[in-house]
Amino acid sequence: MTFQFHKMHGAGNDFVLIDLRRETFVPGPETTRALADRHRGVGCDQVLLLHEADDPAHLLRYSIWNADGTPAGQCGNGARCVALYIARNGEYPGRPYTLESPAGVVAVRHCDDGDFELDLGVPDFHPERVPVLLPEDGGRYRLDSPWGPLVFGAAWLGNPHALLLRDSLDDEDIPSMGAWLGRQAAFPEGVNAGFAALQSRRAIDLRVVERGAGETLACGSGACAAVAILRRLGHVDERVEVFLPGGRLVIKWPGNTAPLSMKGPAQHVFRGIMNE
């Protein structure tokens, strides 16, 4: 059996997108791992699968699978790629619309400059929601590690996120540190580990080691979680530019129970046919 796929990326975070509304098979974990393999497959951080919406009020539904075959709850960069696919496929209704994601409804706006802006919901800082099994002290957690005590904030934004504030992001231990965090019993569902350095109250640098994918060039939900955590701790303003290895995102969060928005690019790389 053959199927069509699209290779896309958002700020370097890359995806294989398959529109299952037009295909006759359902990829499983083994197919996902084969697609994501950068040597024997297409190569990607995540696989995006498009489905008919459960509620006709929304344009479509998408699911997300990590490179290791495990499901993900949210992917901001991936959602922008879905928006780009919608535009290229002639489905853009000419107005803001909504999509169904594993973490809930995502509102999408097509911007005049070619970027896409998404509302990704309200960040949840409750330890049981992240989840994180550590005592909280003023929005911070502490965990002893091979690199010494690690102090971090945590939030849920479709995925569990931890954020460590660093003076510099040049540390070669960041990939190992992030992977180690994701394996700890303190995070029963794993965690996306972010490492941020402040440029100012309106700009940060960020690296993210994602559960199920490793360090990626960009993590949309990780950028959102980083800004939410830093804003909660009083380090940044409402609008923050986030500079990741693969590009720039703009995150806005007024705080409290307001939804958080993310604006950034998406690119279509190529279309192909693959045997299942």
User: Residue 61 is encoded by which pair of tokens?
Assistant: 């539904």
DSSP 209-240: EETTTEEES--HHHHHHHHHHHHHTTSS-SEE
Selection from 99, 32, 112, 40 nearest residue 72 by Cα: 32
How buried is residue 149: exposed, middle or buried, by Cβ count under 10 Å (0-12/13-18/19+)?
exposed
Give the predicted TM-score (pTM) of the model.
0.94
Kindly list the catalytic residues: 75, 219
How buried is residue 139: exposed, middle or buried, by Cβ count under 10 Å (0-12/13-18/19+)?
middle
Burial 217-240 (b: 16+ CB within 10 A, else e): bbbbbbbbbbbbbbbbeebbeebb
Instruction: For the chain, list residues with pLDDT below 70.
Output: 276
Selection from 157, 138, 141 nearest residue 149 by Cα: 141
Selection from 38, 98, 26, 116 nearest residue 65 by Cα: 26
For residue 112, the tally of other CB atoms under 10 A from its CB is 5
- Domains of the chain by range and CATH? 2-120+265-275 (3.10.310.10), 141-258 (3.10.310.10)
Q: What is the pLDDT of residues 6-55, one digit of tens each?
A: 999 999 999 999 999 988 777 889 999 999 999 999 999 999 999 999 99
Residue pointed to by tokens 């879905």: 82
d(CA 117, CA 127): 28
Q: What's the pLDDT at 141? A: 98
Please give the backbone phi and psi of residue 271, each rounded to the nearest 5 degrees, phi first.
-115, 145
Q: What's the pLDDT at 275? A: 80
Q: What's the pLDDT at 24? A: 77
d(CA 254, CA 264): 18
